[in-house]
Structure 1
Amino acid sequence: MKSRTGKISYLAIAIAAALSGNVAMAAEDSAEKANQSLERIEVTARKSIESLQEVPVAVTSISADELSEKGISVITEVQQFSPNTTLQASRGTNSTITAFIRGVGQQDPLWGYEAGVGIYINDVYIARPQGAVLDLLDIERVEVLRGPQGTLYGKNTIGGAIKYVTKAMSGDAEFKVQGTVGSYGQKDLKLTGQFPIIDDKLFIGFGVASLERDGFGEFLTSALSNQDNENYNKDLTASRITLEYHATEDLFFSFNWDKTKDKSNSKGGYRLLPSILTNAPVPDSVFDSYTSLPTWNEVELEGISFTANWSVSDNTSLKYVYSTRDSYSPTNIDFDNTSLPIFDVPAIYDDEQSTHEIQLNNYGENYKFVSGLYYYDGESCGQFEAILGVLGQALGAAGLTREVSGCSNSTSKAAYAQLSYDLSEKWSMTVGARYTQDEKQAIVNNGLIFDNVYPESGWIPGYVRPEGQLVPTVLDDEADWSKFTPRIGFEYQANSDLMFFTSFAQGFKSGTFNPRATTAEPAANPEDVDSIELGMKSEWLENRLRANVTLFSLDHKDRQYISVLPGTTSSDLNQRLGNIGSSEGQGIEAEFTYLATDSLMLTANFGYIDSSFNEVYDTDPVTGVQFDKSDRFSIANTPDYTYNLGANYTIESEVGDFILNASYYYRGDYVLFEEDSLLTQDGYGLANVSVKWYSTDGNWSAGLHVKNLTDEEYMIGGYQFVAPLPDGGYAPGLGGDNTLIGYFGDPRTVSLTVGYQF
């Protein structure tokens, strides 16, 4: 494996110089700056509109303007601005998300598994990670809520929640066109607009996007001809329609439809070890690969939501939200990344969900009350073929496939309430709770087929799939759970610019059945996280310096984990799911914004977490004796340190305003897998620079963005199916090859965006 260490770029040094140099500027120009202050930031972290500085929650909010000026185009880039946060495109695809906050998340995207970080579009929960790498179209802001949000947001937010908030309509006729060209043949086009159908009553809005880019690398060899061999390319279209009706001053309705179709190729991984079964050496580029599968891939999403909001009185509102969402994803993931079918996994994910939520909010002079009822109904199905063709031929068969298919159907009902009450002029308290009932039904089909089998006819040229179910049903069961998740906190408002808060909160991740089960094993119980926070929200220097700091400690119990059982042969893929033990973490998060002059704003955020497993219990399959193997486990996808330094400088001129942005983002070392990880990414830094121009009439804009200026190579995912040997070598794993694979983040890119609006 190659060593990849972070480099301290010249840009980081420049930013540090700017930080120190502008202290002197601030002193010289203090009289001029006396009337300046930072803008108020509004968030809906507690399901009501509040100032960021009033919310006793660790939350980061990034506005539409900030996203545009920094050239942020997908939600995964938001991780750079939120401490102790990991948002990555998952291995094998562009659109599946891997999300961790404070060391809590979910890496395996297989159907049936539940998320550890909740993803929301407005008030709608997105249950599956497929398609959750959202491209930012017609966005108002993105909010990152850190820590368990079990009271207001419910299950599967034990690490936190990511909220994608779309732009509300103004009621005026508007139209915007935006085009982007850039590195690797990038060609993007976005059209957004709105217009009134009935003045002050009925409005319609739309957004359409076409996003294309060539690959960062290529598939060097392939077993199939006449296919697109670009690797890490992009081919995505997205559409959105919104209809708003203001029936009266107190009654509002909104209907939303969106659809995304991602036809980007499957991502091929980088072989960190040469193949021992075929000619597949370590490629020269981390973005090059080999494959024996088709390179096509597809993620198709479609959703509808409806919201009705009634202002019953000046201080009481009633809100109803309905949503339904479907996704379908046929995908090709070549685990071994060679031109032979050593370990290939073509798969299909097919998901449906619908939700209903009724929310009642009431406000008084000294209290805020939020309450609601929630219902979720979801069906998550899928199928994958673990094709071990070379091994099957060695055994004298036409091939060998372990086929796994099934569904995990669940319903969830919840009632919640939260009260914030002023005890005095300075002291207040927040108390809330949520009660949830979950039911889950699961069916798993699993077995061996002595041939190379694909999910559908025509998957590869000429392939015809045999009719009927090919493998037996090994699990058909149901289970239910109920959970009570409280929250209690106290806030002290020292003055109008300084608040201290402390809180205790609980969250849980739903129980689940093993979607890879080989026997009728019982379901794993829910995971629990208990979290304590102590924080400060503050503004200083006449509201020119904002400093928000949170100390936290969390206890993560009943962690669900897949353990691999040894089999009688290397063709066995036996796995069991269980609650294996617990982990803990303590850390700090700090976010600073300093308005140094009329023109210069400096930002910094810092995250630190000390996390580890306390206990990991397993059972020896031969002796039946339980043992603790926590010394073999690490918290995955969670560096000890993250920080970001940034500068924003505005230049006013006769031809318009120029806004310059520069930032340096650093992530410390982290492992990719929890148990016996062989893949570790050394600490690295990303330097980004941008300049955005706005015309004097406000109609034209242009932005030039350079990301990953120093062209860092950094790993964001991988597969490991090898066993380390005492001499430093590796023994081949499943499929009989050295399967140690890495997936990498974007290289240096340059893009130019031009927009016109009227």
Structure 2
Amino acid sequence: MKRFGDTARVALLLASVAASPFALSTPAFAQDGVSEEEELVVTARRRDETLQDVPIAITVQSAEQLDQRGASDITVLQQTSPNSTVQVARGSNSTLIAFIRGVGQQDPLWGFEPGVGLYVDDVYVARPQAAVLDIFDIQRIEVLRGPQGTLYGRNSVGGAVRYVTSPLDTEEAHLRARFNYGSYNQMEAIISGSVPLTENFVVGGALALYARDGYGENLVTGAEHYNKDVDAFRLSAEWNPTDALSIRLSADRVVDDSNPRHGHRLASYPAGGTSYDVLPNVYDTRAGAGDDNHVTTAGQALRIDYELTPNLMLRSITATRRGKTEGIIDFDNTEFPTLDIPAYYRDEQFTQEFQLVFDYDRIQGVAGLFYLDATAEGAFDTVLGGLATTIFTQGSVDTESLAAFADVSFDITDSLALSVGARWTRDEKTGQVYRQNFTGIRSPFFGNGAAVPGLVRTNYTNDASFEEVTPRVSLTWEASDALTLYGSYSQGFKSGGFDMRGDAVFTPDTVNGYAPEFVDTYEIGFHSSFMQGRLNLSGAVFSSEYTDMQITRQEPTTLGGIASFVDNAASADINGAEIEGSYRITDSFRTNFSVGYIDGQFNEYMSNTVVANPAPPPATIVVPIDLSGSAALQNTPDLTASLSFTYEAPLANGTLAITPSAAYRGDSQMFEFATPALDQGAYTLYNASITWTSDSDHVRLGLHALNLSDEEYRVGGYNFPGATFGNSIIGYYGPPQTITGSIEFRF
């Protein structure tokens, strides 16, 4: 098998990734007819490997490729990574929802585990708040599809997104300064650089300032709606006292003061003598709840690599992160408090990971320990102004997780390798939930000291432990220098927990929490390079068994109400296929493409219904029913595809690159059951970028046009029909057509 040799070769390969303008998603092309799929180095398995050697379905996007596309944040990944959904969560500016192959997390409420793991420089990010990362000062982003449990800090049942920042240059100082101006008065400044202070000590940093007017307006308050006001920075220092020891310390912080996103009403509602009809501009709102919103997140990390021997390296990654959110969502989209949700959220996490990375000729691998100590807490009011009632909800979840993992590859022959991995995980969780009725508009927690306390609906503290061993095995065959085939089996595990919305009056079992869910995935795939590196293809077919799915349900109750309830209510079979590749048509004309297909079917989806009791009392009873025949996977189009072309030509002592692209997404549902007013039909986004880079590489000019057809497409929504909730059927939308010009100086 093709493996890595000495450190110098690895460094050379990593440098080629950062420098190459065509390290595009999955296969791209290098110089002299050598496939960049063979040369591209990734760390998907926590060790340096060429992309063609990795028995994983993976999409890799380099910084240069993202720059040429005009990508602003990681939501661009769903336009290039097949069978992936990466979007801004409903009612937020920077909270992430992600689905890969039908597995993910729609609800970003604290206490829920994400189905897709996010890592920044190998540090696990436990919460989705402020996780829609802006793209600056990066080396590459890797999207790994399928369960990731034997290699990564935290179990991820759907897949993982690895955000890898730029390495520090230990040889010479460098500086990059980029300025963007575009539609809706978009103004951005991104500055990054590093300076070697001694021959073995270097410091660096990056600062990013983002400002943009709103795509729409709050017609009640006059405030911008869908605006952007974000400041971010990263600082890092690296010390290499010996050839065997490397120490890197980093810190980051993001402050998001963008106005809250209240959404767009999709159904009319009469209130206060006024009929609140659907506004013609999908980015406008009539929200009277206010425009205050504040999100901060920050972290520090210490990474130590120590080469014990030429074949054995010990790595330690110590990190802390914390975040806080204060905001509000006006669900009814009127000036009245018909359905308003003021909210508060805070989280802290500490992680420690030890890895032992080894390469002994025919045996390579990684073994490690992972520890997580995390707390997430929050509170919100559900204000029902028409009833002069507020339901106050407050809760917290403490998580302590310990895991041991290993993944070892054995070269059976020069062309055949077997990889075997396993992970043991033990999670201990403590959940606390308090829920109480108040008469009045808002509770005392959110400023109404005159609110009259009423029925306590939930008040409990409970503990739960979850322990599991999850395996992974793969067989890789290098059929030729141009073709690598692999087959794999992997299991993903997501631990159970406690529902922070749980209403113990309606659903007494909520105090017991919910159990873990599992995904078993069988996959056959390949990586290839043909025609002296002109054509590169990667593909996979997979079959996943998704069991004990943690489903948030709206349930009728014996007391005549509706309650939100989290339960292990469903199972599904998910089958699909993916292919992605690139073709160098001429030396100056290249194309990249991807296609993903999913066929997901629920085997079981248990719910409850109220029926007449033939032998009262009571007059009605609740019976379980299976709704699998009418349920479908949420946020999972059956077909995704992308196509782009890049044409390069010399121009005025530089190189001009033109990159048009298109990304298609098929029909998808917001929730498991169809909601015609909210569900998004198929659509295609068309983009085009033009960049000019001087021959000296000191200056780059760019013009990026996104969503050229000005497509209106929903990325989230809420469905609360009926007069009590203000007929609150509201949608949230992706960006409209925008044009951005940029100038970048590199020294």
TM-score past 0.5 threshold: yes
Where does residue 544 of structure 2 map in the other structure?
A: 554
Where does residue 228 of structure 2 map in the other structure?
A: 234
Alpha-carbon distance, 1:435 to partner: 0.3
Where does residue 616 of structure 2 map in the other structure?
A: none
Alpha-carbon distance, 1:586 to partner: 0.6
Question: Is the CA contact (8 Å cut-off) linking 1:594 and 1:603 kept in structure 2?
Answer: yes
Question: Is the CA contact (8 Å cut-off) linking 2:343 and 2:381 kept in structure 1?
Answer: yes
**Structure 1's 742 and 260: CA in aligned 2 closer, same or farther, altered over 3 A?**
same
Alpha-carbon distance, 1:511 to partner: 0.5
Matched, 1:610 2:595: no
Alpha-carbon distance, 1:466 to partner: 7.2
Where does residue 484 of structure 1 map in the other structure?
A: 469
Quick one: which amino acid aligns to residue 409 of structure 1?
D
CA distance in 2 between counterparts of 1:577 and 1:488 reads 32
CA distance in 2 between counterparts of 1:573 and 1:313 reads 62
Paired residue secondary structure (1:341): coil
Question: Is the CA contact (8 Å cut-off) linking 2:342 and 2:446 kept in structure 1?
Answer: no
CA distance in 2 between counterparts of 1:170 and 1:499 reads 34
Alpha-carbon distance, 1:454 to partner: 5.1
Where does residue 88 of structure 1 map in the other structure?
A: 87
**Structure 1's 467 and 342: CA in aligned 2 closer, same or farther, altered over 3 A?**
closer
**Structure 1's 457 and 492: CA in aligned 2 closer, same or farther, altered over 3 A?**
closer
CA distance in 2 between counterparts of 1:163 and 1:436 reads 21
- Written as runs of structure 1 = structure 2, the 5 A alignment for 1:622-637 is 623-637=621-635
Quick one: which amino acid aligns to residue 661 of structure 1?
T
Instruction: State the aligned residue count.
Output: 698
Question: Is the CA contact (8 Å cut-off) linking 2:440 and 2:452 kept in structure 1?
Answer: no
- Written as runs of structure 1 = structure 2, the 5 A alignment for 1:297-696 is 297-392=293-388, 400-453=389-442, 474-519=459-504, 521-566=511-556, 574-620=563-609, 623-678=621-676, 679-696=678-695
Question: Is the CA contact (8 Å cut-off) linking 2:96 and 2:128 kept in structure 1?
Answer: yes
Paired residue secondary structure (1:131): coil
CA distance in 1 between counterparts of 2:429 and 2:98 reads 23
Matched, 1:38 2:35: yes
Question: Is the CA contact (8 Å cut-off) linking 1:474 and 1:518 kept in structure 2?
Answer: no
Question: Is the CA contact (8 Å cut-off) linking 2:195 and 2:202 kept in structure 1?
Answer: yes
CA distance in 2 between counterparts of 1:618 and 1:667 reads 30
CA distance in 2 between counterparts of 1:112 and 1:469 reads 26
Question: Is the CA contact (8 Å cut-off) linking 2:153 and 2:370 kept in structure 1?
Answer: no
CA distance in 2 between counterparts of 1:410 and 1:598 reads 53
TM-score under structure 1 length normalisation: 0.90
Paired residue secondary structure (1:529): strand
CA distance in 2 between counterparts of 1:497 and 1:367 reads 23
Paired residue secondary structure (1:511): coil
Question: Is the CA contact (8 Å cut-off) linking 1:276 and 1:738 kept in structure 2?
Answer: no
Question: Is the CA contact (8 Å cut-off) linking 2:437 and 2:454 kept in structure 1?
Answer: no
Picking from 238, 242, 256, the partner of 1:248 is: 242
CA distance in 2 between counterparts of 1:410 and 1:504 reads 28
**Structure 1's 568 and 495: CA in aligned 2 closer, same or farther, altered over 3 A?**
closer
Paired residue secondary structure (2:685): strand
Paired residue secondary structure (2:512): coil
After superposition, the C-alpha distances for 1:565-588 in whole angstroms (9 at most, x for unaligned) are: 336899x66222211020111111
Where does residue 198 of structure 1 map in the other structure?
A: 198
Quick one: which amino acid aligns to residue 496 of structure 1?
D
CA distance in 1 between counterparts of 2:96 and 2:81 reads 16
**Bigger mean CA offset, 539-548 vs 612-621:** 612-621
CA distance in 1 between counterparts of 2:450 and 2:247 reads 48
Question: Is the CA contact (8 Å cut-off) linking 2:47 and 2:365 kept in structure 1?
Answer: no
Alpha-carbon distance, 1:391 to partner: 2.1
**Structure 1's 470 and 194: CA in aligned 2 closer, same or farther, altered over 3 A?**
farther
CA distance in 2 between counterparts of 1:263 and 1:533 reads 43
Alpha-carbon distance, 1:276 to partner: 2.8
CA distance in 2 between counterparts of 1:162 and 1:713 reads 27
After superposition, the C-alpha distances for 1:637-676 in whole angstroms (9 at most, x for unaligned) are: 1101000011011111332111111111100000111134
Paired residue secondary structure (1:709): coil
After superposition, the C-alpha distances for 1:412-463 in whole angstroms (9 at most, x for unaligned) are: 10000111111112211111000000000000000110111157566xxxx6
Alpha-carbon distance, 1:632 to partner: 3.2
CA distance in 1 between counterparts of 2:458 and 2:604 reads 34
Where does residue 216 of structure 2 map in the other structure?
A: 217
CA distance in 2 between counterparts of 1:429 and 1:349 reads 45
Question: Is the CA contact (8 Å cut-off) linking 2:608 and 2:624 kept in structure 1?
Answer: yes
Paired residue secondary structure (1:279): strand
Question: Is the CA contact (8 Å cut-off) linking 1:34 and 1:542 kept in structure 2?
Answer: no
Where does residue 719 of structure 2 map in the other structure?
A: 720
Paired residue secondary structure (1:169): coil
Question: Is the CA contact (8 Å cut-off) linking 1:412 and 1:437 kept in structure 2?
Answer: yes
**Bigger mean CA offset, 125-134 vs 615-624:** 615-624
Matched, 1:757 2:742: no
Quick one: which amino acid aligns to residue 369 of structure 2?
L
Q: In percent, how many aligned pairs have the same letter?
A: 39
CA distance in 2 between counterparts of 1:155 and 1:694 reads 40
Alpha-carbon distance, 1:507 to partner: 0.5
**Deviation >6 Å, runs of 4+:** 465-470
Question: Is the CA contact (8 Å cut-off) linking 2:408 and 2:420 kept in structure 1?
Answer: yes
After superposition, the C-alpha distances for 1:493-534 in whole angstroms (9 at most, x for unaligned) are: 111111110000001111111111122521111110000000
Quick one: which amino acid aligns to residue 255 of structure 1?
L
Where does residue 14 of structure 1 map in the other structure?
A: none
CA distance in 2 between counterparts of 1:162 and 1:313 reads 31
CA distance in 2 between counterparts of 1:649 and 1:518 reads 58
Paired residue secondary structure (1:247): strand
CA distance in 1 between counterparts of 2:445 and 2:181 reads 37
Picking from 258, 269, 283, the partner of 2:263 is: 269
CA distance in 2 between counterparts of 1:512 and 1:620 reads 25
Quick one: which amino acid aligns to residue 530 of structure 1?
D
Question: Is the CA contact (8 Å cut-off) linking 1:38 and 1:595 kept in structure 2?
Answer: no
Q: Could you list the runs of 5+ residues in structure 1 that have no partner in the other structure?
A: 1-32, 223-227, 393-399, 723-731
TM-score under structure 2 length normalisation: 0.91
Quick one: which amino acid aligns to residue 142 of structure 1?
I
CA distance in 1 between counterparts of 2:356 and 2:648 reads 43
Where does residue 58 of structure 2 map in the other structure?
A: 59
Alpha-carbon distance, 1:271 to partner: 1.0
**Bigger mean CA offset, 265-274 vs 375-384:** 265-274
Where does residue 110 of structure 1 map in the other structure?
A: 109
CA distance in 2 between counterparts of 1:149 and 1:255 reads 26
Where does residue 23 of structure 1 map in the other structure?
A: none
Paired residue secondary structure (2:511): coil
CA distance in 1 between counterparts of 2:329 and 2:446 reads 18
Quick one: which amino acid aligns to residue 605 of structure 1?
S
CA distance in 2 between counterparts of 1:300 and 1:249 reads 38
Alpha-carbon distance, 1:263 to partner: 0.4
Question: Is the CA contact (8 Å cut-off) linking 2:182 and 2:739 kept in structure 1?
Answer: yes
